[in-house]
Every structure is written in structure tokens, then in C-alpha cells.
């Protein structure tokens, strides 16, 4: 049928130590490829609680237990407890993922700092954050990263340009429905190919329109039934790698039964020619089930690359949106 790239965001120290190895081992046993994107600096998850005044935040928290998935200790990192340096502490675990044959890349340096600050940040701030992550990745793996997936789907124009500066050749920073090339207001390219997250995430579905932990995979399977175009699905080490691993197992089994091939971002991009992709400016838009505005393609010239992602009309709150 089609290919579905599995993009695994690793947001926290706990996700790195517990959820990431569980997912890697489960996928490796089944010969399934995926792309792991790492948070490489301090875990300041506790500072995310400043989002309480963001529209939609409380409705998300009411649908999913943040404490259950992240734990009280994680929710104190960066506030009552110092934020552990993930990349410095967990070098061996990060290397193990690459050694197992999985594609790896950069998620962020400081997840909360990037997610809450980059949209309005200046170029120098953005360069510092991206540079720190790029340097740490190279220290751990002995080579530069070539893939970037922005924390919380948050970007600014400088960030797209800096991806190329730091050697990024493929990115999944946005939400959308098809691959595209990002451009500026003049139509000039500003960054590498974008493979947007095309499918809703579990935490955007659970608690809405009757979907819960017993049936939520059916919402996603209904979107991919008899489809013959490629998709990108984002999952989180803190969720699918821990409490929601059984849901993820059912989802993968369902996709395989539908005939889809599970793969990595790099493999998905390998058959695409950047010259033939639509070109779009990137703005901000809403995604059902998630608070705040996210990076999405917007109309450029007479082309409109994307529309708001759709979720089936059937019946999360993660700290990391």
C-alpha cells in the first residue's frame, strides 16, 4: 500500500532512559525501521508548567495524566530539581540506538526552552540553541547530524536557514499533509526538504470523540485504510515507549495488516526529488487536540501546499506539546 515513517521524539531524561530503549528493542526484534530524534541538553521539563495560561492547555491535561507518563521527579526538573544533562549522562544509550541500525538525528538542545521560545526568538538565540545540539550530537556519534525534527513543531525562519548551515539535509519540523521545500517571501529556498508529521498523535486523540486507550489505534487505522500515499507518524518515547506501548503494538500490527511498510524518514525521503516538490512558506496553524500554534505550510503564490490536518469525527495532555 504505502510507507509510514516512524518519527520517535525523545523529549526527557526519563524517556531516554526508559522509553527509548523499550521502543528500540521492540522495533529491532521485529525488523522495523524508525528515526529517533534526541534531546541532547538539559531536561527542564518542570518549566513547561508555565504553559498553564495557554489556551487549550487545561483541556489537554484533563484528558491524559501528565504525572502518570512523566512522573513527579521529571516534572520537577528545572524547578525544584536541577535539570539533568541528557546527552552527557546517557551517551551509551544514545549510541546503542545508532548501533542497532536505527536512523538518528537532533530533536533539540533544551526541549522546553526551544518549544516556548523559538517562535519569537532572534537569529543569534536560535543559532546558539541549534549549535549546542549539533556540537553535542557530533561529540556523541563522531559525525554531524543530518536530520532535525523541531521540539513541539516550533520554528522560526532563521531556524530553517540554520539547518542548512549545520549540515541538516532532511527535516521534519512541521505538521502537514505532504513533503515540501520551505521558501521565504521571495520564493527562495531557506532550508532542507520538510517531511511533515501527517497523522495525528495519540495524545491528540485520546479523550476526544470516544477514543480512549482501548480503541484509539482505530482512529489512526481509519485514516490509513486503503491509502496509497506515504505518511509520517510522530510518537514519543515517554508515551508509546512506556504506558502506551500496548497501543503502539496494536497500531503497528494494524498497519502491517493493511499492507503498509514501516520505515524511517530517510528512506521515505530517498525516493523524493526536491526539484519536483511543492514550495511553500511556513507559518503557524492549529492542530485539533493540541494547544498552541504549530509550524505548518501556508499558501505561497498560487499554490497552497497544505490544509489543516484532519481527525476522524469519532470519539492528551503531554507536557511536551
pLDDT digits (tens, 9 = 90+) for 184-215: 988 899 999 999 999 999 999 999 989 999 99
Let me know how long the chain is: 321
Paired residues of 233 in beta bridges:
6
pLDDT of residue 83: 72
* Sheet arrangement for strand 279-285: 181-182, 279-285, 294-298
Q: How far apart are CA 316 and CA 159, in angstroms?
A: 27
Any idea which of 7-21, 216-230, 236-250, 288-302 has the lowest mean pLDDT? 288-302
pLDDT of residue 72: 43
Q: What pLDDT, in 10s, does the model give residues 116-152?
A: 999 999 999 999 999 999 999 999 999 999 999 999 9
Residue with the three cell numbers 514519543: 236
Q: How far apart are CA 14 and CA 182, in angstroms?
A: 33
Q: How far apart are CA 205 and CA 314, in angstroms?
A: 9
Q: How far apart are CA 46 and CA 287, in angstroms?
A: 24
Q: Within a 10 A sphere around the Cβ of 67, how many other Cβ atoms?
A: 11
Q: How far apart are CA 33 and CA 25, in angstroms?
A: 11
Burial class (CB in 10 A: 0-12, 13-18, 19+), 20: buried
**Average pLDDT for residues 80-105, to the nearest whole number?**
91
To the nearest whole percent, how much of the chain has pLDDT over 70? 81
Residue with the three cell numbers 521524539: 9
Going by C-alpha positions, the residue among 311, 310, 312, 317 that lies closest to residue 292 is 317
Q: How far apart are CA 119 and CA 238, in angstroms?
A: 24
Instruction: Inform me whether the pLDDT recorded for 30 exceeds 70.
Output: yes
Q: Within a 10 A sphere around the Cβ of 261, how many other Cβ atoms?
A: 16
Any idea which of 20-29, 94-103, 153-162, 291-300 has the lowest mean pLDDT? 291-300
Q: How far apart are CA 179 and CA 149, in angstroms?
A: 14
Going by C-alpha positions, the residue among 289, 297, 311 that lies closest to residue 160 is 297
Q: How far is CA 80 from the centre of its chain?
A: 27
Q: Within a 10 A sphere around the Cβ of 99, how many other Cβ atoms?
A: 10
Amino acid at each position: 500500500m504505502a510507507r509510514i515513517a516512524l518519527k520517535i521524539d525523545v523529549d526527557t531524561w526519563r524517556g531516554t532512559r526508559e522509553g527509548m530503549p523499550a521502543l528500540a528493542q521492540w522495533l529491532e526484534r521485529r525488523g522495523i525501521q524508525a528515526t529517533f530524534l534526541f534531546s541532547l541538553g538539559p531536561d527542564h521539563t518542570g518549566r513547561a508548567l508555565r504553559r498553564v495560561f495557554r489556551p487549550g492547555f487545561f483541556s489537554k491535561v484533563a484528558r491524559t495524566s501528565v504525572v502518570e507518563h512523566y512522573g513527579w521527579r521529571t516534572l520537577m526538573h528545572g524547578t525544584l530539581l536541577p535539570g539533568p544533562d541528557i546527552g552527557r549522562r546517557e551517551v551509551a544509550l544514545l549510541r546503542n540506538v545508532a548501533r542497532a541500525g536505527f536512523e538518528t538525528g537532533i530533536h533539540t538542545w533544551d526541549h522546553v526552552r526551544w518549544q516556548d521560545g523559538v517562535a519569537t526568538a532572534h537569529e543569534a538565540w536560535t543559532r546558539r540553541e541549534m549549535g549546542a545540539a549539533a556540537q553535542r550530537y557530533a561529540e556523541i556519534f563522531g559525525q554531524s547530524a543530518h536530520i532535525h525534527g523541531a521540539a513541539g513543531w516550533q520554528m522560526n525562519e532563521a531556524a530553517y536557514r540554520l539547518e542548512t548551515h549545520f549540515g541538516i539535509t532532511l527535516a521534519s519540523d512541521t505538521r502537514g499533509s505532504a513533503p515540501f521545500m520551505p521558501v521565504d517571501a521571495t520564493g527562495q529556498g531557506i532550508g532542507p526538504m520538510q517531511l511533515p508529521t501527517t497523522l495525528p498523535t495519540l495524545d491528540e486523540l485520546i479523550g476526544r470523540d470516544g477514543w480512549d486507550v482501548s480503541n484509539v489505534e482505530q482512529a489512526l487505522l481509519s485514516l490509513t485504510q486503503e491509502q496509497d500515499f506515504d505518511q509520517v507518524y510522530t510518537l514519543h518515547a515517554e508515551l508509546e515507549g512506556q504506558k502506551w506501548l500496548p497501543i503502539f503494538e496494536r497500531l503497528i500490527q494494524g498497519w502491517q495488516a493493511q499492507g503498509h511498510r514501516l520505515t524511517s524518514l530517510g528512506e521515505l525521503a530517498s525516493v523524493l526529488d526536491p526539484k519536483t516538490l511543492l514550495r511553500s512558506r511556513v507559518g503557524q496553524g492549529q492542530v485539533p487536540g493540541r494547544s498552541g500554534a504549530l509550524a505548518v505550510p501556508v499558501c505561497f503564490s498560487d499554490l497552497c501546499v497544505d490544509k489543516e490536518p484532519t481527525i476522524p469525527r469519532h470519539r492528551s495532555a503531554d507536557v511536551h506539546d
